[in-house]
Amino acid sequence: MVEKTIEVKPASQKTITIPATYGFSEEKILVEKEKTVWKKGVNPAQKLDGATGEIMCLVKIPAKYKTIKKKVVKTPASTKIVDIPAVSKTIKVKKLMAAAKTESITIPEVKSSIQKSVLDSKATFSWIRVGDTVDKGLKYTGHRICLVASPAKKQTITKTVLDIPASTKEIAIEPTYKTIKIKKLVSKAQEVKTPIEAVYKMVNKREKISASHQSWERILCQTNMNQNVVLKIQNALKTKNYNPGKIDGVLGRDTRVALDKYQRDNSLATGGITYETLKALNVEL
C-alpha cells in the first residue's frame, strides 16, 4: 500500500470583469459666436433740436463661452482571466511495483535412512558324530550321528532409499506498486474576448438653424413708452421666469437684459422692443 495523490477538482479559469474608471475634465465651449447687431441709439444733436426721430447703431457683441465639466473614461472596462488551481487529495492505494510472473524452483529430493536385515548366509544342516563335542543346547537323540542345524546368519546394513522424488512447483510473486506524480492537461489555454459596450452621454449642442440677418422691424416708439407699458413688460417677463429686476416701471438694465434673453430664446428680433416681442409677451398697448 502506497500513498497516491488524485485530482478531486481539475484546474480551471475564471473571467473577472474590471469596471471602467472615470474622471472629470473641464472644456471651454463656444455658446454664442461674435456678432454685430443693430441697436437703437439717440443722436444728441437731434435731442437738442427737439427731434423725435430714432437711429440704429451697429454694435459688436463679443463671443460667449461656457466652461463645462464632463465625465471622461480614464481606463476602459476590461476582463482578466484568473487561473483556479486544481484540488488534490492523497489516498492509499495498492501499487503495482512489478508484474506477476512464474518462477520454477528446484525442490531437492528427500532421503531417509532405514535399517533392514539381509541374509548373509542361508541356514545349513550337517551330520556330526555322537560323542564328539556337541554344541550347547543340542539334545542327544540316541543316534550315532545327529543332524545338527546351523542357523542362518544375518547382519544389519544401512541403506538410503528414495522417500519423495525431486519435483518443481510454481510460486506466484505479488506485483509491487509505487506512487509517482504526473502533470495532466485538463484544458488547453484559451483566450476569451468579452465585448465592452460603448458608453454614450447626452450633451446639449447649439446648432445653427438659420443665418443671422438684419431687417427693419416695427418697434415701440418713445411716445408709447410709458411707465404702465414698462410695468406690463416687467410683469410678463417675470411670469415667463425671466428676472426683470425691480418691478418699478423703469426700463433699467435688468429689464433690458431679461428682455434680450427672452427674445434670443424665442428666436425674436433683438435690439429693441418690437411689436412681435410685445405680442409674444401678451402685452397690449
pLDDT reported for residue 61: 83
Q: What are the cell numbers at 271?
A: 435690439
Q: Of 146, 170, 194, which one is at a domain's C-terminal end? A: 170
Question: What is the domain extent for residue 128?
Answer: 102-170
3-state SS string for 149-191: EECCEEEEEEEEEEEECCEEEEEECCCCCCCCCCCCCCCCCCC
Q: What is the CATH number of the domain that holds 229?
A: 1.10.101
Within a domain: 76: no
Q: What is the pLDDT of residues 134-155, one digit of tens each?
A: 555 555 555 555 566 667 777 7
- Does residue 222 share a domain with residue 161? no
Q: What is the pLDDT of residues 208-260, one digit of tens each?
A: 676 666 666 677 766 667 889 899 999 999 999 999 999 998 888 999 999 99
Within a domain: 116: yes
Within a domain: 270: yes
Q: How far apart, in whole angstroms, are the C-alpha atoms of residue 272 and residue 56?
A: 10
pLDDT reported for residue 270: 84
Q: How many C-beta neighbours within 10 Å does residue 197 have?
A: 6
Q: What are the cell numbers at 248?
A: 418699478
According to DSSP, the β-strands at 78-84 and 110-121 are unpaired
Residue ranges of the chain with pLDDT lower than 70?
40-59, 118, 120, 123-150, 208, 210-217, 221-224
Q: How far apart, in whole angstroms, are the C-alpha atoms of residue 163 and residue 57?
A: 152
Nearest-5° angle of CA 187, CA 190, CA 193?
140
Within a domain: 165: yes
Instruction: Count the domains in the chain.
Output: 2
Within a domain: 6: no
Within a domain: 237: yes
Within a domain: 124: yes
